[in-house]
Amino acid sequence: MLNHWDNPLGTIERGYAGSSLWKWYELPEVIDQRYIDYARANASIGINAVVLNNVNASARFLTKEYIVKVKALADVFRPYGIKVFLSLNFAAPKLLGGAKNSDPMAPEVRNWWKNVTKDIYSAIPDFGGYLVKANSEGEPGPQDFGRTHADGANMLAEAIAPYKGIVIWRAFVYAADPKGDRFKEAYKDFKPLDGTFASNVLVQVKNGPIDFQSREPFHPLFGAMPKTPLAMEFQLTQEYLGFSTNLVYEAPLFKECLESDTYSNGKGSTVAKIVDGSVDNHSLTAMAGVANTGSDRNWTGHLMSQANWYAFGRLAWNHSLSSEQIASEWIKMTLTQEPKAVTTIQDLMIKSREIYVDFTTPLGLHHVMGQNIHFGPEPWLEKSARPDWTAIYYHRADSVGLGFDRTAQGSNALGLYSKEVQALWGNPETCPLPYLLWFHHVSWNKKLSSGKTLWNEFASRYYEGVKSVEWMQKQWNSVQSSIDPQIFADVSGRLAAQHREALNWRDACVLYFQQYSKQPIPTQYQVPTRTLDEMKEIVRIYQLK
């Protein structure tokens, strides 16, 4: 399933490839050829469901005006085996129907949803169902009335059950608690509800516990709700991966999560096997990807980002495929079949995600990007509308060290995992470096498994990350003769932009965290020529509307 975060006026939340594909003001009368092209592309990689609108949903999509527009798209997609779904606004009975409120236990509210659902299925007999973001980031939901997420989901499930539709309820919820740990919030809300959801409800869980960071540990809900089918939610659009200027092949990120062992039902209970239903014997399964498509001629802004759309579809049906195999398939169908060029581009793609992590958030650092637009570095962010939207909430830098202590001595978020997983990540001496700062506050002088102190390893990652982008540029230049000239030039320009952005990340983060470590930059690297104040001004300008 692709989740489109598209809005009625044609904008896309976290969209970096132009405007929405859906021309709502032309529908249903005008059927754009791209709708057909889009359906064919999805069918070719096994995507059989599409949510047309943003999870921060406008109630307008449930009106008769829009149902006929949705029907027009459903008619286009049907021959390609694709069902349409809608994100809904939980307050719609009040906003559209004049109800006193949207309490899921109120008879008039329940009847309103039954009537709207009947209208939809009268127009679209094979309508897939509803996707719901509720009581999250200001969106309305059942908790507004003292009800649970299960109460809200089951009300909708009852309305849609006669038509064999499903409800997909997102688990992306977190209370604003300055003394808490956002890592734990979804688990706290949903774990007690295991087994209380209707049989036609899927709970959709993001791959990690925070928000699509460039690297996250797998979400602790995977393995914690055996009585409830859990859908995976990945993000194809590169909200935290450099928008459309950065080349980041996401298959290794997907695989890293899917192959993580939860140990929920013994060794081998991987996230993938929980999502595909095999661990807990669920037949209702789904994998969702937040779409990276838009109106740009090449669909995804950065042409190389098409590979993420392709990889998502391939892994949704066969999670045993390797990142290398998927990359090779895509390169040969999209760029070139010249053997040496294929090998070079494949190597570049496979390494690209780790390179991005190195020059942005190495060693498990997370959530230090620019506020609001989530572009560029802003590790100094101290104030926001919520404490857990700041950077300092996550990195916890001080004169002693860096990182969020999630052990029993800290927030104990580690306690949400099995004992085997706790053993893997719980000891700072043996915790894999990619997850170190996710779970431990580590001294600047602590010697790591790499042989370097935390500060020296941390600073080195930023510098080597920039060098690696330069390596990516050289690798791409080496295949020029095998690539279409327009494609080659476009990707070359974006790699140059990525290099500029990598320098910004390096200088901003190294200079900022150096204030706490009070240690020199390793001698083999040049001290940044820009000051921290200059970097803060660059980032401030990024944020201007």
For 425, left (φ over 0), alpha (ψ -120 to 50), or beta?
A: alpha
Cα dist from 4 to 51, 53, 239, 311, whole Å: 6, 5, 14, 17
Q: Is 456 exposed, middle or buried (0-12, 13-18, 19+ CB in 10 A)?
A: buried
Cα–Cα distance, 98 to 194 (Å, whole number): 33
Taking the CA atoms of residue 184, residue 417, residue 272 and residue 266 in that order, the dihedral angle to the nearest 10 degrees is -160
Cα–Cα distance, 231 to 132 (Å, whole number): 13
Taking the CA atoms of residue 381, residue 382, residue 383 and residue 387 in that order, the dihedral angle to the nearest 10 degrees is 110
Handedness of CA 235, 237, 242, 245 (dihedral sign): positive
HSE-CB for 305 with a 13 A CA cutoff = 29
> What residues pair up with 443 in beta bridges, in sequence order?
401
CATH 3.90.1330.10 domain position(s) in the chain: 362-404+441-542
> What residues pair up with 206 in beta bridges, in sequence order?
233
> What residues pair up with 288 in beta bridges, in sequence order?
233
pLDDT digits (tens, 9 = 90+) for 402-454: 999 999 999 999 999 999 999 999 999 999 999 999 999 999 999 999 999 99
- In this prediction, residue 390 has a pLDDT band, given cuts at 50, 70 and 90, of very high
Q: Are the beta carbons of 70 and 84 closer than 8 angstroms?
A: yes
Q: Please tell me the predicted confidence (pLDDT) of residue 456.
A: 98
Active site residues: 137, 211, 239
Q: Are the beta carbons of 276 and 319 closer than 8 angstroms?
A: yes
Chain CA centroid to CA 172, Å: 11
Q: What is the DSSP string of 350-364?
A: HHHHHHHHHHHSGGG
Whether 65 shows a pLDDT value over 80: the answer reads: yes
HSE-CB for 15 with a 13 A CA cutoff = 22
Q: What are the residues whose beta carbons fall under 8 Å from the beta carbon of 316, sequence distance 6 or more?
A: 46, 47, 287, 289
**H or E segment to which residue 131 belongs:** strand 129-132
Percent of the chain with pLDDT over 90: 98
Which residue type is seen at 506? R
For 46, left (φ over 0), alpha (ψ -120 to 50), or beta?
A: left
**Could you say which of 3.40.50.620, 3.90.1330.10, 3.40.50.2300, 1.20.1250.20 is the CATH number of the domain covering 362-404+441-542?**
3.90.1330.10
Whether 7 shows a pLDDT value over 80: the answer reads: yes
HSE-CB for 415 with a 13 A CA cutoff = 11
Chain CA centroid to CA 464, Å: 26
Mean pLDDT of all residues in the chain? 97
Mean pLDDT of 218-227: 98
**H or E segment to which residue 51 belongs:** strand 49-51
Cα–Cα distance, 316 to 265 (Å, whole number): 22
Task: Tell me the two tokens of residue 121.
Answer: 């299925």
CATH 3.20.20.80 domain position(s) in the chain: 2-334
Q: Please tell me the predicted confidence (pLDDT) of residue 488.
A: 98
Cα–Cα distance, 434 to 365 (Å, whole number): 9
pTM score, whole prediction: 0.98
Q: Please tell me the predicted confidence (pLDDT) of residue 543.
A: 81
Residue that is written with structure tokens 């690209």 in the block = 352
Which residue type is seen at 450? S
Q: Please tell me the predicted confidence (pLDDT) of residue 523.
A: 96
∠ CA 213-216-222 to the nearest 5 degrees? 120
- Closest by CA to 192, choosing from 218, 171, 178, is 171
pLDDT digits (tens, 9 = 90+) for 92-109: 999 999 999 999 999 999
- Closest by CA to 120, choosing from 86, 81, 76, 166, is 86
pLDDT digits (tens, 9 = 90+) for 14-49: 999 999 999 999 999 999 999 999 999 999 999 999
CATH hierarchy code of domain 2-334: 3.20.20.80
Whether 177 shows a pLDDT value over 90: the answer reads: no
**H or E segment to which residue 288 belongs:** strand 287-290
Q: Is 210 exposed, middle or buried (0-12, 13-18, 19+ CB in 10 A)?
A: buried
Residue 474's CB: how many other CB atoms inside 10 A?
A: 10
Q: Please tell me the predicted confidence (pLDDT) of residue 545.
A: 72
**H or E segment to which residue 159 belongs:** helix 149-160
pLDDT digits (tens, 9 = 90+) for 267-303: 999 999 999 999 999 999 999 999 999 999 999 999 9
- In this prediction, residue 200 has a pLDDT band, given cuts at 50, 70 and 90, of very high
Cα dist from 186 to 141, 189, 492, whole Å: 15, 5, 41
Is the link from the previous residue into 28 a cis peptide, with omega within 30 of 0?
yes
Q: Are the beta carbons of 499 and 364 closer than 8 angstroms?
A: no
- Closest by CA to 273, choosing from 205, 325, 312, 320, is 320
Whether 64 shows a pLDDT value over 90: the answer reads: yes
